[in-house]
Amino acid sequence: MNRTLTTPIALSLERANARFGPLGARFGDAPDGWLRASDVVSSPEAVRDLLDQVQTLYGMDENERQIAASFLVLGYFWYPMVGALACYLLDRRVPDLSTDAVATHVRDGVVFTSPRCFALPDDPDADHPDVTVMADRDELRACLIRKFDEHATPLFATLRSVAPYGFNGMRTNYVDRLASAVLWLCEQIGDMDLARDEVPACVALVNSKSRAGIIEIEHDGRSGVFLKRSGCCLSYRLPGNEMCDTCSLRSMDDRVEVLRKHLRYR
């Protein structure tokens, strides 16, 4: 029997992709050529190869290795975060994010290879043998963030050993990526109160002192909720690029003014 039809997390990922459009995250076996996260996060050779791929993908010069490292952090975490968070926000389930249960590809996404998942006591499949029940939503959220950190901690140590990129830059981009994934999913759901709850709660579990979060803007009778970044992706240092609208290098007044302009066209 096809195991994708019998495991709760596979069904959640299927629902998530149907609800949000292709997320680049699915359940199944690792495709040929994809890397287990466990073979990446502590391997200087594997991380160097990923940096080379990022530089090729974005047409970066060799002297732009630091920018490639920043892009690698953002790229590595986007697919696992958006896939796992989609399951969490829709079904209150968290896939097994152990590094040996995640297969990644720098361009094509992520595959969760373990049938195990975490859920709440009222989950309709709480008695399923692949489900580990957590006490409440706070414990489930903490489990989710803890599993992300199991990737981040070794990856950042390895990346620091092979690229001129500091831990502070990695951590701020990591938490910004988390906040942006939560915010984007909540926008797709159409529930910004959920974003107001989940963005600060998730960010605080990574770093209770982080400046990352949301900015709420009102202008000319319109309102919007936007990402408040704590770091810089360094994209502006590439030829032809400018600072992102929400870049932390912009003053808050500047960011607010730029975001007000976005509201005019909503």
pLDDT in tens, 14-70: 999 999 999 999 999 999 999 999 999 999 999 999 999 999 999 999 999 999 999
**Of 163, 176, 179, nearest in space to 248 by CA:** 176
Residue 66 belongs to some domain of the structure: yes
Residue with tokens 């952090």: 73
Asked if 12 and 68 count as a contact pair (C-beta separation under 8 A), the reply is no
Question: Mean of the per-residue pLDDT values for the chain?
Answer: 95
Residues in the chain: 266
pTM: 0.95
Q: Which residues pair with 218 in a beta bridge?
A: 223
Residue 181 belongs to some domain of the structure: no
Residue 197 belongs to some domain of the structure: no
DSSP state of 209: T
Strands 109-112 and 25-27, sheet pairing: parallel
Q: What is the pLDDT of residue 102?
A: 98
Asked if 226 and 217 count as a contact pair (C-beta separation under 8 A), the reply is yes
Mean pLDDT along residues 164-188: 97
Tokens found for residue 203: 């960010």
Per-residue pLDDT tens digits for 66-84: 999 999 999 999 999 999 9
For 27, the 3-state DSSP assignment is strand
How large a percentage of the chain has pLDDT more than 70?
A: 98
Q: What is the pLDDT of residue 101?
A: 98
Residue 106 belongs to some domain of the structure: yes
CA distance 255 to 244: 9
Residue 207 belongs to some domain of the structure: no
| pLDDT at 4 > cutoff 70 | no
Tokens found for residue 243: 């600072």
| Residue-number span of the structural domain to which 43 is assigned | 3-165
Q: What is the pLDDT of residue 1?
A: 37
CA distance 199 to 204: 9
Asked if 87 and 14 count as a contact pair (C-beta separation under 8 A), the reply is no
Q: What is the pLDDT of residue 6?
A: 76
Tell me the C-alpha to C-alpha distance, in Å, between residue 43 and each of 80, 109, 157. 19, 20, 10
Q: What is the pLDDT of residue 266?
A: 66
What is the residue-wise DSSP string for 7-50? -HHHHHHHHHHHHHS--SEEESPPPTT-EEGGGTTT-HHHHHHH
Strands 213-219 and 131-133, sheet pairing: unpaired
Mean pLDDT along residues 174-183: 98
Look at the chain and report how many structural domains it folds into.
1
- Tell me the H-state helices in 92-226: 137-162, 167-189, 192-206
Per-residue pLDDT tens digits for 233-262: 999 999 999 999 999 999 999 999 999 988
